[in-house]
Chain A
Amino acid sequence: MPDKKPSLSPFLLKTLQIVVSKRYREAISGDLIEMVRGISRKKGTAYAKWWAVFIILTSFPRFLSHSFRWSLEMFKSILKLTLRHLKRHKGFSFINIAGLTIGITASLLMFLWVQDELSFDGFHANEKNIYRVICGKSNPSSPQGAVSPPVLAKRMKSDFPEVVETARLYHSGGILFSRGEASFFENNGLLVDPSFFRIFTFPFTLGDPETAFQESRSIAVSEKLAFKYFGQTNPLNKTITLDTRADFKITGVFKNVPQNSHLRFDYVLPFSLLERSGRDMNSWTDVSYYTYVLLREGASHAAVDKKFEILGSQEDPQKEGYYLQPLKNIYLRSDLLFDIGRHGNRVYVTIFFAAALFILVIACINFMNLATARSGRRAKEVGMRKAVGATRGNLVTQFYFEAFFLSFLALFLALLLVHFLIPVFYSLSGKQLSLGFLNNPFLLLTLAGTALITGVLSGSYPALFLSSFQPQVALKNMFNAGIKGARFRKILVILQFSLTIILITGTMVIYKQLDFMRNKDLGFNKDHIISISMRGEFLNSFSAIKNAVQQNPNILNISAASNMPLHIGSGTSHADWEGKTEDDVIQMQIAWVDADYLDTFEMKMVEGRFFKTGDTVDQNCFVLNEAAVKAMGMDSPLGKRFSAFGKDGHIIGVIKNFHYKSLHSKIEPLILNTDPRMQDLACIRINAKNIPGTLRFLEKTWKEYAPDYPFEYAFLDDEVDALYRAEQRLGKVFNVFTFLAVFIACLGLFGLSSFMSEQRTKEVGIRKVLGAGMFSIVRLLNSEFILLIGISSLFACPASYVVMTVWLQHFSYRIQIPVWIFLVSAGLALGIALLTVSQQSLKAAMSRPVDSIRYE
């Protein structure tokens, strides 16, 4: 008997069981099995199986229509009621939906921004196992550098079993690309080992990264660069001239580096170029390289750090410590010396995230607030519907559905808005966002979750509380509900205005700090200074150019230097001086400047003298800044022995501290020295009059001396401003979002106050009849809101003080948060609130008592 063999797959039985009501499940599957066995005895198993599928499929419609038909009918009626309700209360509906929509839109944009920041370097396939070698003394307070000596890469690969692949990287600096007519400086280039493309995911569209760098004169370019020089034609195997001297063959084209990569580059040259140029690749002291490492899956970087310790102590003459820094930490979590690439700011990410959350919370509160406030007037409806036979379940469904309908409608509108606002946001924040839902189910879930929670919270009060009313109570005593919810609504308003005040304060503090940074005395005059970089043969002809340029009376001063006083970034911790002890490890920055630097930038000496023109002896002299002298603890520095960068000399002067980096960092010890080979930047102070004429003159002069190079210049004050671009953008974005938050909070308040004054219409009417003046009535209606906002400021001021103090920690030079900021923002909030509320109060106060008493 083949009965033991189950002739029906469990899957089919399961499908059937979904649709059948519980009571019949067992019987039906039993019936089915019995029938199938009967058929299979007569017509064979295969036939029986298909027959079973057929019979189950044909059963579906019957069961489905039976169970769905009535719920569909109910749903239709709920939807109809909801729409009717929205139409009936157009004002409330508008405020409710608009507030929530704007709130979700704003916070969604900010969340997208945050998400973009957090996504940096996440696109590499090996993302989790990529590290960068950083160096520094183990002492945590001493600064660490993002750089490492070239020998490490080789040693790691051969000695450390955890290491799969290493790649060295060197930033090329600007190179002049020319092909035919087209000739531009390209500043974003890297020299890398071929293994670079095995570690990172930068896919090639043409050529193969494995074979692209076999010849030393080969170059891979980005699609953007390829288009710039070759247009639509295939650039592969064509040549391009670099720095007017050497022809390089294009052996690869890679996809443009994604926006969210900390490494940005447009072309890649083989690292072997450096080896050929005679650099010592076994050096432990030449730290001009970046080393990236791919570890074996599951290997811990702490183990590698341990091995570094042993290797370093045995072989490194400088006894530096080396560590691995996870790739994910580079963009947001590192503050290293000599770093390359783009950097974000964790503080801003946190602030944005918090602000987005704030706005979302405000909008949701607003939504709930209105829903609960309005529910009072629906008590009657509840009573009525119960009287005609609605069950509590019906009412719960109805109220929840309305809440969900509104919150999801708002979500939908917000998504639409975000879609259209992305370009606007780009111009505001400089970040191209995308609404990539398909590749981010998390975001979609979060949004749906937000709408769901908002719906649940706003719907719960009417659904759970109102629906429990006895019909006769609800019909008779309709105002009870509104009063009962009042305390809850007051708490909501307090929370909402606290958040608004925090945002207003934040905006003001940010603006104050930006203003402070813009106007702070930097220790030099940044106005009307232009810088022109000198490349190639330029360096030798600087004195000739200088002579030619100085003929023009509009050129006030010209100086050759390695850096302008804003990006001085190279340094050493191996300087030596008279009286140095073993424990003195001081990181010092260095800039090479000529004798005119001091006057060009209008800096001041504290003691001693600056370099003299034409004095070659001065090449072994040093000028230090006050911070350096203080760090060394010298009492009378003049004439003391000092050596750094292979030069042995003495200190001839002390220069007054000036800011040579952004105001985020403190003024650190600085060495100034003269070395014409390093001074590749011409800094020119020009007269404020006739700037275009002066620029034309400079261009003409430049072309005479270096016709091959394009004339490119930059204004110092622009570049100083660029240091704070992130803050300026933050300020702008914050401004907009604060405005939105205030707007949303006002919408909520407006709805609430109009509701409350409506509820008191009768009271106002009687008061007027008894002789109350308009002023006293407005005061009566407003006083409650004033109290609420007073309480909010009590909460908000300390909170915003803490938050903004944390933000300001980020700047070495920062403002004290003045007390008036809190007063102003509280006052502002109060003013806005009163303006909103008074509109309703005035309307109530000015209405004719006859109308108001007749109300109902």
Chain B
Amino acid sequence: MKKYLSRPEEIILLAVWRLKDNAYGVTIKKKVEKMTEKYWSIGAVYVPLERLEKKGFVRSCLSKPKSERGGRRKRLFTITSAGIYELNKIHKVNEVIWQGYSTDKKETW
């Protein structure tokens, strides 16, 4: 039985999808911080990324060395078709489990 993605993995995977061909460490970190309005450490970004890559939902390649990065290359992540498929699944599940929920305060208790 395949497990679901963890929540951080899900968020990161979405960020990679959103960033299209400019998804690498810094942009992903910024994106998820903006989306979640929380501090993400580098570790918190890369550990789920690594897992996602192992599971085959993203793949990565190295860019050309950039001077503003101290001559270091970027590792650019792109979402794979398996990743898209997984996102679709999660989206469906999410829709189901969130169905009928509104942020109207009266309905919370």
A28: contacting residue among B42, B44, B67, CB under 8 A = B42
Given known pairs A24-B75, A62-B43, the reply for A31 and B25 (CB within 8 Å) is yes
Query: How far does the Cβ of B31 sit from chain A's closest Cβ, in whole Å?
Result: 13
B75 touches A27 (CB 8 A): yes
Query: How far does the Cβ of B5 sit from chain A's closest Cβ, in whole Å?
Result: 16
* Bound Cα distance from A24 to B62, whole angstroms: 10
Residues of B within 8 A of A60 (CB): 43
* Bound Cα distance from A3 to B50, whole angstroms: 30
Residues of A within 8 A of B70 (CB): 6, 8, 29-30, 33
Interface residue? B91 (CB, 8 A): no
Contact with B along A648-666 (1 / 0, CB 8 A): 0000000000000000000
A21: contacting residue among B25, B50, B68, B72, CB under 8 A = B50
Interface residue? A35 (CB, 8 A): yes
Interface residue? A34 (CB, 8 A): yes
A20 touches B68 (CB 8 A): no
Interface residue? A43 (CB, 8 A): no
* B70 closest partner in A (C-beta): A33
A24-60 interface with B by 8 A CB criterion: 24, 26-35, 37-38, 55-56, 58-60
B68 touches A32 (CB 8 A): no
Residues of B within 8 A of A8 (CB): 70
Interface residue? A423 (CB, 8 A): no
B69 touches A63 (CB 8 A): no
Query: How far does the Cβ of B98 sit from chain A's closest Cβ, in whole Å?
Result: 28
* A63 closest partner in B (C-beta): B43
A62: contacting residue among B24, B41, B68, B73, CB under 8 A = B41
Residues of B within 8 A of A62 (CB): 41, 43-44, 47
B43 touches A31 (CB 8 A): no
Residues of A within 8 A of B39 (CB): 58
* B46 closest partner in A (C-beta): A24
Interface residue? B74 (CB, 8 A): yes
Query: How far does the Cβ of B56 sit from chain A's closest Cβ, in whole Å?
Result: 15
Query: How far does the Cβ of A158 sit from chain B's closest Cβ, in whole Å?
Result: 67
Residues of A within 8 A of B68 (CB): 3, 33-34, 37
A30: contacting residue among B44, B47, B73, CB under 8 A = B73
Interface residue? A61 (CB, 8 A): yes
Query: Chain B contact residues (Cβ within 8 angstroms of A): what range?
Result: 20 to 34
Interface residue? B66 (CB, 8 A): yes
Interface residue? A66 (CB, 8 A): yes
Interface residue? B26 (CB, 8 A): yes
* A62 closest partner in B (C-beta): B43
Given known pairs A3-B67, A26-B75, A55-B41, the reply for A31 and B47 (CB within 8 Å) is no
Query: How far does the Cβ of A71 sit from chain B's closest Cβ, in whole Å?
Result: 16
* B71 closest partner in A (C-beta): A30
Residues of B within 8 A of A19 (CB): 43
Contact with A along B48-74 (1 / 0, CB 8 A): 011000000000001000111110111
Query: How far does the Cβ of B59 sit from chain A's closest Cβ, in whole Å?
Result: 12
Residues of B within 8 A of A33 (CB): 68-70, 72
B42 touches A34 (CB 8 A): no
* Bound Cα distance from A29 to B65, whole angstroms: 12
Query: How far does the Cβ of B41 sit from chain A's closest Cβ, in whole Å?
Result: 4
Q: Count chain A residues whose beta carbon lies closer than 8 angstroms to a beta carbon of B.
A: 30
Residues of A within 8 A of B69 (CB): 30-31, 33-34
Query: How far does the Cβ of B16 sit from chain A's closest Cβ, in whole Å?
Result: 14
* Bound Cα distance from A20 to B41, whole angstroms: 13
A27 touches B25 (CB 8 A): yes
* Bound Cα distance from A56 to B46, whole angstroms: 12
Residues of B within 8 A of A21 (CB): 50
* Bound Cα distance from A30 to B74, whole angstroms: 7
Query: How far does the Cβ of A40 sit from chain B's closest Cβ, in whole Å?
Result: 12
* B27 closest partner in A (C-beta): A31
B26: contacting residue among A31, A58, A66, CB under 8 A = A31
Given known pairs A27-B74, A30-B74, A31-B24, the reply for A63 and B47 (CB within 8 Å) is yes
Query: How far does the Cβ of B104 sit from chain A's closest Cβ, in whole Å?
Result: 36
A34: contacting residue among B26, B46, B47, B62, CB under 8 A = B26
Contact with A along B77-88 (1 / 0, CB 8 A): 000000000000
* A6 closest partner in B (C-beta): B70
* Bound Cα distance from A180 to B86, whole angstroms: 101
* Bound Cα distance from A29 to B70, whole angstroms: 9
Residues of B within 8 A of A34 (CB): 26, 66, 68-69
Query: How far does the Cβ of A47 sit from chain B's closest Cβ, in whole Å?
Result: 16
B41: contacting residue among A23, A24, A58, CB under 8 A = A58
Query: How far does the Cβ of B34 sit from chain A's closest Cβ, in whole Å?
Result: 14
B42 touches A59 (CB 8 A): yes
* B30 closest partner in A (C-beta): A35
Residues of A within 8 A of B72 (CB): 26-27, 29-30, 33
Residues of B within 8 A of A63 (CB): 43, 46-47
A28 touches B41 (CB 8 A): no
B3-41 interface with A by 8 A CB criterion: 24-26, 29, 39, 41
Query: How far does the Cβ of B77 sit from chain A's closest Cβ, in whole Å?
Result: 10
Residues of B within 8 A of A29 (CB): 70, 72
* Bound Cα distance from A779 to B24, whole angstroms: 79
Residues of A within 8 A of B46 (CB): 20, 24, 28, 59, 63
Given known pairs A30-B25, A33-B72, A34-B69, the reply for A58 and B62 (CB within 8 Å) is no
Residues of A within 8 A of B41 (CB): 55, 58-59, 62
Given known pairs A24-B50, A27-B25, the reply for A59 and B73 (CB within 8 Å) is no
* A29 closest partner in B (C-beta): B72
* Bound Cα distance from A66 to B47, whole angstroms: 8
A481-528 interface with B by 8 A CB criterion: none
* A4 closest partner in B (C-beta): B67
Residues of B within 8 A of A35 (CB): 26, 29
* Bound Cα distance from A21 to B70, whole angstroms: 20
Query: How far does the Cβ of B18 sit from chain A's closest Cβ, in whole Å?
Result: 18
Contact with B along A374-403 (1 / 0, CB 8 A): 000000000000000000000000000000
* Bound Cα distance from A270 to B96, whole angstroms: 102
Residues of A within 8 A of B67 (CB): 3
B73: contacting residue among A23, A26, A66, CB under 8 A = A26
Query: How far does the Cβ of B38 sit from chain A's closest Cβ, in whole Å?
Result: 12
* A30 closest partner in B (C-beta): B72
* Bound Cα distance from A30 to B24, whole angstroms: 10
List residues of B whose CB falls within 8 A of some A CB. Answer: 24-26, 29, 39, 41-44, 46-47, 49-50, 62, 66-70, 72-75
15 inter-chain pairs at a CB distance below 8 angstroms, sorted by A residue, are A3-B67, A3-B68, A8-B70, A24-B49, A24-B50, A24-B75, A26-B62, A28-B46, A30-B69, A34-B26, A34-B66, A34-B68, A55-B41, A63-B43, A63-B46
List residues of A whose CB falls within 8 A of some B CB. Answer: 3, 6, 8, 16, 19-21, 23-24, 26-35, 37-38, 55-56, 58-63, 66
- Top 8 closest A-B pairs, CB basis? A62-B43, A30-B72, A31-B25, A27-B75, A59-B43, A30-B69, A58-B41, A33-B70
Query: Given contacts A23-B50, A31-B74, could you give 19 more A-B pairs where the C-beta distance is less than 8 Å?
Result: A19-B43, A24-B75, A26-B75, A27-B73, A30-B66, A30-B69, A30-B70, A30-B72, A30-B74, A31-B25, A31-B26, A32-B42, A33-B72, A34-B69, A55-B41, A58-B39, A62-B47, A63-B43, A63-B47
